[in-house]
Structure 1
Amino acid sequence: MSKYIGIKLVDATEMKLGEYNDFKGWTIPEDENPNTEGYMVKYSGNYISWCPKEVFETNNLEVNENSKLPSGVSIGPKMVKDFIKSYEVIERDGKTTIVHATLVNGFKLTEASSCVDPSNYSKEIGTEICLGKIEDQIWGLLGFLLQTAFEGIK
């Protein structure tokens, strides 16, 4: 068996398993809990399925609606900021700030900022500059992800 990375742009509606079975006209098996929380997921081509809430939210990132784009969605500033789970700030040589950020998916990004004159050094300003650079990278990474989800792999 081969492994694949799946990236799709889907429509999803929060829906309990029993509601999904009613929607499909199915009778829920006795060993399944109709109150199990999850999502009804609609893929391109009108394929519809149901996914448990924890699995869906672990594997899918909500994007911002944007009616000005053909896809109807875009990456927004809040998405970018929220993608940073945590970060560590390191001060070096009295004039360099290094920020090591961990993203929500475990990926790590590192940026540095330095000034010429140590008397002008500010850890706060250095951190702000580094976080700005990291956010710029996240914009690109999420844009790549969204493009792949929207157009697929050709």
Structure 2
Amino acid sequence: MSKDEQAIEAEIQKKGKTGPRITPDMLDAEIVDEDYHVFPRTQMTVCVLTLKNGFTVIGKSACADPANFDADLGRMIARDGARNKIWPFLGFRLKDQIAAGEV
């Protein structure tokens, strides 16, 4: 969980918001695998996150100047990009459950 997510979580708790919602921990629990690839002759890093149901999301990172390339930073940025794409899917799932009276 990022520092921003921690701050948001703290604010949600402080304000006593108790309705159904997706939490960062719930999101992270959906991820079962991650793979990375740096394309030859580039500074492009791609991250593929596989979710429990087999669905995949992709994030990427690249730098304009090869002197700024760092494999670890590239993986971190690409993973964050992929992870951020999961929120809308889980929100959609939760909204369906709310509409069906399941939560």
TM-score using structure 1 length? 0.51
Aligned residue for 1:74, secondary structure, equals: coil
- Which residue of 68, 83, 90 maps to 2:17? 68
Output the amino acid matched with 2:45: T
Three-state SS of the structure 1 residue aligned to 2:85 is helix
CA contact (8 A) 1:94 1:121 kept: no
CA offsets per residue over residues 48-81 of structure 1, 9 Å max, x none? Answer: xxxxxxxxxxxxxxxxxx8625xx3210011111
Q: Aligned-residue CA RMSD in angstroms? A: 1.6
| 1:81-124 C-alpha deviation (Å, 9 max, x unpaired) | 12111111101134110111111111011221110011100111
**SS of aligned partner of 1:133:** helix
The answer for the alignment partner of 2:64 in structure 1 is: 116
**Does 1:131 find its partner at 2:79?**
yes
Partner of residue 26 from structure 2, selected from 79, 101, 110? 79
- Structure 1 partner of 2:8: none
Which runs of 5 or more structure 2 residues have no equivalent in the other structure? 1-12
Residue type matched to 1:83 in 2? E
Give the conservation status (yes or no) of the 8 Å contact 1:101–1:108. Answer: yes
Partners of 1:133 and 1:112 in 2: CA distance:
7
- Aligned pair count reads 85
Structure with higher Rg: it is 1
Q: Is the 8 A contact 1:113 1:130 kept in 2?
A: yes
Greater percentage in strand: 1
Output the CA distance in 2 between the equivalents of 1:114 and 1:91: 10
Q: Runs of 5+ in structure 1 lacking a partner? A: 1-65
Which structure has more relative contact order (CA 8 Å, sep 6+)? It is: 2
Separation in 1 of the partners of 2:76 and 2:57? 15
What are the residue-to-residue correspondences of 1:18-57 with 2, within 5 Å? none
Contact 2:49-2:56 within 8 A present in 1 as well: yes
TM-score (norm 2): 0.74
